[in-house]
Structure formats: structure tokens, C-alpha cells
Structure 1
Amino acid sequence: MKKRHFFLLFILVQWSFGQTSNANTNDNNAFNDFYPIAVKPSLGYLSNMNAHEDILFDAKPTVYYSIINNIIENMQSEENKAGNAFYMSFQPHIRMYAENSKPVKTPSYRVLFGWQHMIKTKSNNFFTWAIESGHYSNGQSGCAFLSGEDDESMACMDFHTTITDESNLSQLLNRANGNFSTNTTKLSLNFRFNELNNADEPYKIHSFTTSYELYHNRFFGLFNVGGYTDFDIRIYGRHRFGLGYEYVHQWKPKIRYSLEQKIELIQGAHSFVEPLRSETTFTIYPFNRNIGFFGTYVYGHDNYNLRFVDSGHQIGFGVSWDLFQPFQITRAKTTDL
């Protein structure tokens, strides 16, 4: 079993290192484009949030594939055009647990289609909005809160009717194969204040992000596939609000670091669910590339699909990949009056 654990970890590391790139090199690979609003791929250790499970590692091998992406090109153009990215994104979230029978449990998958629009202001700052829509699930078939029964079976539905506002969902959760499924649409806004050096590269960045995510039953709001039941959405909550701040500093020619704070609030979920999630992360990038090493502290609800019913404290560390590292831009033209 230890060999199997090591093999899976090796595959994830090999895949992830394939994401590394340099901002100032020409690369026509559609997997290596830049996205100002993105989920960073990561791989690392994460402490346990509760006594039910022991986490060995946590991985987010996120992939973005550009259909069209001219963000870097237009930010480096003298014509001061807006940049756009149309893309598909596959965002798995995988955890391995210290169990012999089923070490990887209920991995989740987001399959999204997105559009990001980015403009450069007269002060050489960046404003971006993004809209993403698609499907989010863990691909399981079991009853969410009754182990040993299929989802939407009579036994499952009968048991779910016994759940009240006072029920402890963390204790009831089917951690082996409980089903989680929804369709989702997310709108995000980001503003980056850039301080440029003599090479026209940002060496200090203040980045502010806000987002709103809606869980909805129909795929793209149109097709009745991949959604949820009435019971499910009363547990999940339909609305998620996000706030984020990141400070990036090019400290040395080959070293930069970032300090990031993210907040998520769930609205409309079951009363047992902790609405707040806070993540504080410090990352150092020692090679002037997009690969970095991070340490993080988490408070609030978990973000591993159905385990949002868990809450507590976590610490973690590992390696991550920046999908929008600082790059040389063309300064906005100014007009003399």
C-alpha cells in the first residue's frame, strides 16, 4: 500500500512540474497561458480538521486550456488593447487518507468554461472580470448521510427526512462514497495595483478580488443534467461570496514572495455548517518562475466537496504554481495637455 501511495504522489508531482513556465519566454502551449483570476495548482501536506480521518496529502492538479488567450500579448502591446481569455478548466481536488481499503476518497471535479476580460489602466494597473460556469461533483453514488445505501434510494430519502436543524452533519456524513453534485456559475472581479521597476515589470503588487458563486440545478442554466435534489441544496446553500487580498513583492532579482488572505462565506446552508472559511497563505518563489513553496493556515469550513460540513483549524505546506506571475508590460501612453 505504501508503494501505491508513493506512485500516486509521484504522478502528481510529475504532472505538476509540467506546468512550470517563465513569463518572459514565448510559449505557444495552450496549457501555459496566464490567467489573472485562477485556482493555483498545489500539492502538499494538510493537517486533519477532525478526528474522523487522517490526511496524508492534499492535491489540486488544476488545468486551464486556452481556446483564445491574448492577455500577455495585449498587455505588452503599445496599442493598449484589452486582453481576453476564453478557456476550459479542469479543477480536480484529491486527498489521500491513511486508510488501506480506500486511501483516496470522494475526489471532486470542477469542469468549467470561462471568459476573462482584462484592461490596463492609465496608471499601469490591471482590472479583470471573469465568468465561469460548469459542473462540480465528486462522482460518487452513495447516500450523502447514510453509509451503505445508494443516493436517492428509498432508504436514503427516508433517512434524510429525519435530519433536523440540530443534526450533527459531520458525524452523519458518508465519507466513503457520499454523493455531491451541483452545477455552478461564478462571477469574479480583480484589481491589481502595480508598482513598476525600470524594466517595466511589477515589483510590488496589491491584488484585490471579490467573487459570487451560485449553485444551480441546470447545466449552464439550460440543461437538466448534473444538478441536485431539493434536499441537497438545503444542505449545500446556493450562494457563496468570496473576498481576497494578495501582496506580491519581488524581493531579490531571483526571489519573490506573496502574502495572501482569502475569505469565503456560505449563505443558505444547513444550520450546522460553519459559513466562514479563512485561508492565510505565505508563498516564496525562489527561482523567479511560477513554482513556489507555501505555508497556510485555515479556519472555518472545509473545502473538499461534501466535507464542507466539517469545520475547524488546519495548517498546511507544500508546492504551488502561480498562473499569473509578474511579467514585463508596456506602460500606458500618456497624453501631454
Structure 2
Amino acid sequence: MLIKQHLVFIFILISAFGQAQYDDQSTASDSSQFLSLIYANRDLTYFTFFDGVGNLPNMVTEARFSGSYFLKNSKVNWALELNLNMTLRILDKKSYPIPPPSYNPELTYYRLIRSSNSGVLSKLLFKNAYWEISLGHHSNGRAGDFYKADSLGNETRQIDLRDASFTTHYIELGYSTFHHRKNNAGQDFYTNLKLALRVLPALMATEELNDSYGFYRAFITYNIFRIPLGNLQNSSGFFSRSRLRFHAGWIFGDVFNAAANEAEKRLVGEVTWFYFPDWLAEMGFFVQYYYGQDYYNLQFMRTMNTFRIGISSNPLNFSGFRKFLKN
């Protein structure tokens, strides 16, 4: 109960702080271009080559289709995004079966935070920043009983991974700040820090998930765009078209057979490197290591530990990003 109270308090505090930092005198230029920052952090469409190296079942691919639709006017300091996320896995078995996909649509409201030009804290945290609030749904589109029945029709404690109903809803509050930086050699690069808190109301989830899924989550993400390595003179070189993403999270609340401090069940960690070549404008390549709860519907009982490669959509126009972020 104490954890719940703390999370609610943090939500209210971040929301109020974000509103307090906003300056209604923001310029049209700022409000029209902060969509570049939002776009940089959006969920990417991707597919993997097979299942990678780890403990996932043998697969042909895992693919996520992330279609974003924005409502944004150049003269306002907010944006609204509808993202129709869907993730599916194609198993490497006869006829290549597809388990029930993950349906994960999100509606997100973004609000620009305008920094005052004084104060070290303001320049560090609010120079190019926004806060966001999302309403999300995650389900597998099934309506069957959660547990399988035995030959006599009695319920067992074995989850029906094919037909059981899996449904959750959530609200997530996040804060992102971006910075334009230079290394000692004078190379430009960009960093992004994102903090997020997610609550999944128990009344809006499949009842059997109450003591096993973990309904309170905290995340931190750090991105480096245009990795500052390589030839200073070559602005379109290998590292200047790369992105490095570090993501970590912790699952609070009741998790099946997990103590409150059991990292094996509660920790989420991810490191992903992306490369976006000029000759493949809309797509890029990625290499990823992921550890943590499996995000694929009823597979949440598995702790994923996998290394994989794949192809993803390109998150942003690097040249447009450069024009917006100031020193």
C-alpha cells in the first residue's frame, strides 16, 4: 500500500512541476518543431531475424507494427498521438503458426516545457523538453478461461497460453529532455533522458493477473543520437548515423513467486544499437540485448534473456533534429 501511495504522489509531483515550468510565451518556432523530439522517441516498427540467441521459442520472426497518427498544429505547444501497436511472433514450426498477437494501442498527449533562460537546473532539465501522459490497452484478443481444465472439467493452475483472455489497461506519465552536445573533438551529438511511471488499474485487468503481473512500473531510458566516434569531417559517416539506447525498469506490486527485491523477476534491462544508412532512408538495422519479463501477452511468466538482430523504421530526420536543438 505504501508503494502505491508513493507512486501516486510522484505522478502528481511530476505533473505539477511540468506545468510550472511551462512558459506561455514560447515562440511559434519552438511549438512547431517540438514534434521532431516526439518523433525521435516514438515506438518503432521492426522485425527480427529469427529468435536470436537466448531462451525464446524457435521463431521465424518477431514483428511489431507501430502506426502513429498525430494531431498537431504549428501554433500550439501540444500534440496528440494515436499509436496502433501490434506485435506478433511467427513460430518456426510446421505451417508457421502465429500465437495470438499483442494488441497495444496507445493514446498520448504531449506538452512542451519551455525553459526560462536562467538557472543551471532549468538549462539542464528543461531546455528542450516535454511531458506526456498515455492511456494504453494491452490484450491478446481472446476470451477463453485463464486456466486449462482437466479431463473432468476441473480448473487446473496451468495457464491456457492459446485461448486464455489476457487484458490490461494502463496510464503512464513520462518526461523527456533532449540536449545538443559536442565532444572534445568538436563532434555534434544528441542525448535524451526519459523517465516514466506506469500504473495498471487492477479493476481493468483480467482478474487472474492481480497477483502475478505487477501493476506498478518505473522506467528510465537514455538515448545517444549521432554517436560521437569516427571521422570529425564526415558528418554522414557510420557513427553519425547511429543511435544507442539504454533502457531499464522495475516492476512493483505482486509478481508471481517473486520477492519484493527479486531482480530476476522484476528487473527489465535493454541495450539497443541502431544504424540508419543514407541509402535506406526509411529503415535501419539494430542489434539488441533484452532481459526481463516477456512482454508478449500470456508469456509474461517467462523471463526473457535474449540477444537478437533485426530491421526497424527510422525514428527521425537527423538534419531536422540538428536544426531544432540549440547549444
Map 1:161-310; keep pairs closer than 5 Å.
Answer: 172-195=158-181, 203-217=188-202, 227-249=204-226, 252-255=234-237, 256-272=241-257, 274-287=265-278, 289=281, 291-310=283-302
Map 1:132-171; keep pairs closer than 5 Å.
Answer: 132-146=134-148, 158-160=155-157
**Matches of 2:77 and 2:132, distance apart in 1:** 12
| CA deviation profile, 1:238-273 (whole Å, cap 9, x unmatched) | 111111111111664334111111112211233336
**Matches of 1:107 and 1:283, distance apart in 2:** 25
**Matches of 2:202 and 2:244, distance apart in 1:** 36
Does 2:61 correspond to 1:54? no
| CA deviation profile, 1:21-61 (whole Å, cap 9, x unmatched) | xxxxxxxxxxx99534421221112336537x312211111
Normalised to the residue count of structure 1, the TM-score between the two structures is: 0.68
User: Which structure has greater helix proportion?
Assistant: 2
Alpha carbons of 1:250 and 1:259: their partners in 2 closer, same or farther (altered >3 Å)?
Answer: closer
Q: Secondary structure at the match of 1:103?
A: coil
Kindly report the root-mean-square deviation, in angstroms, between the aligned alpha carbons of the 2 structures.
3.3
**Unpaired runs of 5+ in structure 2?**
1-35, 118-122, 229-233, 259-264
Alpha carbons of 1:159 and 1:257: their partners in 2 closer, same or farther (altered >3 Å)?
Answer: same
How far apart are 1:325 and its partner, in Å? 4.1
Give the aligned residue type for 1:258: R
Alignment-derived partner of residue 314 in structure 1: 306
Normalised to the residue count of structure 2, the TM-score between the two structures is: 0.70
**Matches of 2:315 and 2:72, distance apart in 1:** 13
How far apart are 1:300 and its partner, in Å? 2.3
Give the aligned residue type for 2:44: K
**Unpaired runs of 5+ in structure 1?**
1-31, 75-81, 161-171, 219-226
Alpha carbons of 1:63 and 1:318: their partners in 2 closer, same or farther (altered >3 Å)?
Answer: same
Give the aligned residue type for 1:174: D
**Matches of 1:286 and 1:109, distance apart in 2:** 30
Aligned 8 A contact 2:268 2:292 in 1: yes
Alpha carbons of 1:84 and 1:290: their partners in 2 closer, same or farther (altered >3 Å)?
Answer: farther
Q: Percent identity?
A: 19
Aligned pair count reads: 263
Give the aligned residue type for 1:318: G
Map 1:53-132; keep pairs closer than 5 Å.
Answer: 53-66=57-70, 68-70=71-73, 73=74, 83-100=77-94, 103-119=97-113, 121=115, 122=117, 125-132=127-134
**Matches of 1:208 and 1:285, distance apart in 2:** 21
Give the aligned residue type for 2:164: G
Q: Secondary structure at the match of 2:323?
A: coil
**Matches of 2:247 and 2:92, distance apart in 1:** 28
Aligned 8 A contact 1:106 1:178 in 2: no
| CA deviation profile, 1:279-326 (whole Å, cap 9, x unmatched) | 111111111845221000112221212212101420111111243443
**Matches of 1:90 and 1:244, distance apart in 2:** 22
